[in-house]
Amino acid sequence: MTSTHFTLGLVQMKCDPKREPNLQRAIQAIHRAADQQAQIVCLPELFLSPYFCNTHDLSLFDLAETIPGPTTETLSQVARERNVVVVASLFERMEPGMFFNTTAVIDANGQYLGKYRKMHIPHDPLYFEKYYFRPGDLGFKVFSTQYAKVGVLICWDQWFPEGARATALLGAEVLLYPTAIGWHPKEKAEFGASQYDAWKTAQRAHAIANGLFVGSVNRIGFEPSPMGEGLEFWGGSFIADPFGVLLSQASHDQEEILVARCQRDRMEDVRRNWPFFRDRRIEAYGGLVRPVGE
C-alpha cells in the first residue's frame, strides 16, 4: 500500500424485485467501474432485493444466505477477473434465528477477507430492521485490502460518530457506507431537503473529524410497501475527502457509478494541519461507554 492513491467506485443503483437481475446489474456495474480505473467498488445496502424491511414478513427471511456463500463466490470471480476489491452488503443467515445485516469484503485477488455486521440497527416506520437483524456482534472492522485499508459501516451507522471514530482508530483510510435511505412521500416536500442535507452533513463530518475519505452509496427508486406509502430512495451517493470536500456527487434519481481518486498525500496533509488525533482525551471519554442516568 505504498501507492500514492487508491480509486473508489460507488455503484448507485435501483433494486428490482428479483435477485438475479440485481446481481447481474451489480456485476455489470463493477465491470464499468473497473473500466474507469476504480480499484475498490462498493455496492448499496442489500442490493440483491427491494428494501424488504419496509414490512414484517416471516417469509422474507428466505432471502438470507451464508457469508461467505453463493453471492460472495460469484462476486469473488468478478473481483479476481477485474482485479478490484468488492464491498457487498448482504442479508446474512448464520443459523436459524440468527440473521444479520452484513457487508462482505472481497480482495482484488478474489479472496474473501471478512465481514462487518451492522452495529446500529434502526427501527422506524418502514425501516423495520430490528425485526430482521440481530445487532452486529463483531465490533468495528477495518479490512487490509490490496489497495487500501477499508473501514466498512452500514447505513444507520452513519449517524453515529462513535462508529466512524472507532473504525478510523483501527487505521481506516476510507469509510464506506452501503446505504438504503429514502423519503416518505408525504414528508418529502416539507422535510426532504433538510433530511438529505443532514445525512450528508453527518457523514462529511466523519471525514473531517477523522481525516479520512468517506464514500456513501445509496439505492434509488420508489419501492412500495404493504405497510405504508412506500419509500422513495434518495440516491445522492457521494465521496468526500479528508476535509469533507466533495470529490463526487450523484443525482437523486439515476443509476450512476461514482469514481474518485483518493490521494494519500491529501490525507497526510489534512491530518498534519488539523491534528485532532494528537489531542484526544481518552481518559475523559468515559461517558461515552457508560449507561446514561442513575
Asked if 189 touches a copy of itself (CB under 8 A), the answer is: no
Smaller CB separation from a copy of itself, 1 or 193: 193
Minimum gap (Å) between residue 167 Cβ and a copy of itself: 8
Smaller CB separation from a copy of itself, 58 or 282: 282
Asked if 140 touches a copy of itself (CB under 8 A), the answer is: yes
**Which is the catalytic residue, given 14, 115, 118, 141?**
118
In order of 7, 116, 208, the CA distances from 90 in angstroms are 23, 10, 29
Burial (CB count <10 Å: 0-12, 13-18, 19+), residue 63: middle
In single-letter form, the type of residue at position 190 comes to E
Q: Which of 134, 160, 225, 249 binds a copy of itself (CB under 8 A)?
A: 160
Asked if 162 touches a copy of itself (CB under 8 A), the answer is: yes
> Cα separation of 294 and 284, whole Å?
19
Contact indicator for 67, 104 with CB cutoff of 8 Å: yes
Minimum gap (Å) between residue 177 Cβ and a copy of itself: 14
45 given a catalytic annotation: yes
Closest alpha carbon to 73 in 101, 112, 115, 43 = 112
Q: Which x/- pattern, by CB under 8 A, does the window 208-247 give for a copy of itself?
A: xx---------------------------------xxx--
118 given a catalytic annotation: yes
155 given a catalytic annotation: yes
**Which is the catalytic residue, given 14, 15, 42, 45?**
45
For a copy of itself, which stretch binds (CB under 8 A), given 35-43, 105-113, 174-182, 200-208?
200-208
Asked if 139 touches a copy of itself (CB under 8 A), the answer is: yes
For a copy of itself, which stretch binds (CB under 8 A), given 1-9, 85-93, 102-110, 275-283?
275-283
Joined together, the cell numbers standing for residue 95 give 443459523
Q: How many residues does the chain have?
A: 294
Minimum gap (Å) between residue 204 Cβ and a copy of itself: 5
Binding residue count for a copy of itself, defined by CB under 8 A: 51
Smaller CB separation from a copy of itself, 61 or 243: 243
Q: Which of 14, 93, 115, 165 binds a copy of itself (CB under 8 A)?
A: 165
**Which is the catalytic residue, given 42, 53, 155, 262?**
155
Binding site for a copy of itself (CB under 8 A): 119-122, 124, 135-136, 139-140, 156, 159-162, 164-166, 169-170, 194, 197-198, 201-202, 204-206, 208-209, 243-245, 273-277, 279-292
Active site residues: 45, 118, 155
